[in-house]
Amino acid sequence: MNTYRTMPHLPKIKLLALGVCVIISMVSCMEKQTNDPAETYKFWAGEPPSKNVDVIHGRYWQSAHWSKEYVMYLDLTAPSDWRLEFIKQNNLVKTTEQYGFPSDAPDWFKPTKSFRTFVQAGSGQGSVYYEDTLTGRMLIYETQL
């Protein structure tokens, strides 16, 4: 008498579900990288820019890790109410400290003396935000490592 039991075959729907899970896990572990301004904004904000925000330049890199490590450079213009709300929502405080840029900063990321400098209160991540109140331009360097 045979005492071994055979494994019943998985129904096709379970195999399909397993395959979908494998594909999703593989895709979610892929690095994201772009120099497209609109795509950079969307990766960063999770949605396209609103009609009153003009995204001029962007560069974005995100690791393949589940922890969402990223480095982002963004150059945009926005109305004063948008900029004020952004500063408020992100708990940014004005600073007079000078910040150097990483060696991989894009050529277009060059704030001048007319920009006010902000950092996130209580954060040591290294993200820096620049605002020119006369032109409405913002340069954003954000990192999460």
| Residues 5-47 pLDDT 10s | 655 565 666 666 666 655 555 555 688 999 999 999 999 999 9
Residue 76 falls inside a structural domain: yes
Beta bridge partners of 73: 59, 141
Q: Give the range of the structural domain holding residue 53, as residue numbers without chain letter.
A: 31-144
Residue 62 falls inside a structural domain: yes
Residue 96 falls inside a structural domain: yes
pLDDT band at 62 (very low <50, low <70, confident <90, very high): very high
Look-up of token digits 């209160």: 121
Helix (H, G, I), strand (E, B) or coil at 34: strand
Quick: pLDDT tens for 74-128.
999 999 999 999 999 999 999 988 877 778 899 999 999 899 999 998 876 789 9
Residue 2 falls inside a structural domain: no
Query: Strand order in 116-120's β-sheet?
Result: 32-34, 54-62, 70-77, 137-144, 128-132, 116-120, 92-95
Residue 109 falls inside a structural domain: yes
Q: What is the pLDDT of residue 132?
A: 96
Q: What is the pLDDT of residue 123?
A: 73
What does R_g of the chain's alpha carbons equal in angstroms? 22
Q: What is the pLDDT of residue 102?
A: 78
Residue 16 falls inside a structural domain: no
Helix (H, G, I), strand (E, B) or coil at 139: strand
Residue 86 falls inside a structural domain: yes
Give the residue with greater pLDDT, 144 vs 74. 74
pTM listed for this prediction? 0.77
Residue 36 falls inside a structural domain: yes
Residues 6+ apart with CB under 8 A from 140: 72, 73, 74, 75, 76, 127, 129, 130
Number of separate domains in the chain? 1
Answer for the pair 121, 90: CB distance below 8 angstroms, yes or no.
no
DSSP line for 58-109: EEEEE-SSTT--EEEEEEEE--HHHHHHHHHHTTEEEE----PPPTT--TT-
